[in-house]
Amino acid sequence: MSAFVDPLTFAPLEQKGDMLVSPSGARFPIVNGIPRFCEVENYTSNFGRQWNLFEKTQIDGEGNALDVSARRLADETGWDLGAMDGLDILEVGSGAGRFSRAILERSSANLYSVDYSTAVEANQRNNAALGPGRFFLAQASIYEMPFPDDRFDKVLCLGVLQHTPDFEQSVASLIRKAKPGGEIVVDFYPIRGWWTKLHAKYLLRPLTTRMDQEKLLRLIERNVPWMIRAWEALDRLGLHVLTRFLPIVDLRSVVPPGLSEDERREWAVLDTFDMYSPQYDHPQRIDTVARWFEKHGAQVTFAGFVTSAHGEAAVVRAVRR
């Protein structure tokens, strides 16, 4: 039997050739070794493109010599990875697998990982060899995951919720997959005040989300060098507040220190594309997200900002009731 179930009926699936088959007759293809429980191309196609293109950039020990992803994971979750042996972990929105790598390398946990985009292919290339028999990867929607409810010891969703169509229902879906007593940890873009959307990103996204993604990426690549110089000049002059009007990611809070010049440019291109290409971008107030957790059956244990490896993140941690 498969490690996955029918996402609608939760019935066990049987593998027949390159298909997973449900007793109901539903069939889910296995493409390039990865089960697909959604349309391969969908509103997250930009993420599939960016993570397959920049598949090593944020992977510890690959695109950089730092342990940025492992430190961010530990800081935001508060988890001791060395104490998770044998636990069942659900990772939702894994991208190229930066956090998958940290979990697989630093624990003996069983990791079940999904992403709605074709980024799962980058994750497979990066991490499949690290967790034979305990790494289960699929392409699936956060709203129709191929796992029973009440299943996981821990549920993780970092860098994802603001890019889903319905933030509250995404939270509810994550909670359902945790066991009673299981822990759920998320981070997201915060609303800090009225000025949050007074930013180049939100001023330009009505245009950039309609652009051809290849053209958008090339435009960013051509302009990142001068934008980095302009950002650094404003920062040196004590005018950091004005950098929000430059159409580039905040180099202080997003791009980690210690990178080479080429690595820094690559991170800037990646994260600037990540600003302008997603179809959805829904920042939230921390207290609102905490209320949604309580509403949908979880007790909040932490809701606030966490200083992570290279910036500050809005984080909510909760335990399934």
Map out the domains of the chain as residue ranges: 40-190+283-320, 200-276
Q: Which tokens go with 314?
A: 């809005």
From residue 153, give the alpha-carbon distance in Å to each of 30, 195, 247, 311: 27, 38, 40, 28
Closest to 313 in 3D by CA, of 198, 199, 196, 188: 188
pLDDT value of position 65: 55
Choose among 220, 216, 197, 218: nearest CA to 208. 216
| CA neighbor of 284 nearest in space, from 202, 171, 176, 192 | 192
Q: Residues of the chain whose pLDDT is less than 70?
A: 1, 63-66, 309-310
Q: What is the pLDDT of residue 12?
A: 96
Q: What is the pLDDT of residue 1?
A: 58
Query: Residues near 219 by Cβ (< 8 Å), separated by ≥ 6?
Result: 211
At 118-143, the pLDDT tens digits run 999 999 999 999 989 999 999 999 99
| pLDDT given for residue 63 in this prediction | 58
Res 42: pLDDT: 87
pTM above 0.85, yes or no: yes
Amino acid at 318: A
Name the H helices within the chain: 45-53, 68-77, 98-106, 119-127, 167-177, 200-208, 213-236, 261-276, 286-295
- CATH entry, 40-190+283-320, from 3.50.50.60, 3.30.1330.10, 3.40.50.150, 3.30.420.40: 3.40.50.150
In this structure, which long-range contacts are made by residues 8-16, counting pairs with CB atoms below 8 Å and at least 24 apart in sequence? Answer: 8/144, 10/148, 10/149, 13/146
pLDDT tens for 138-180 read 999 999 999 999 999 999 999 999 999 999 999 999 999 999 9
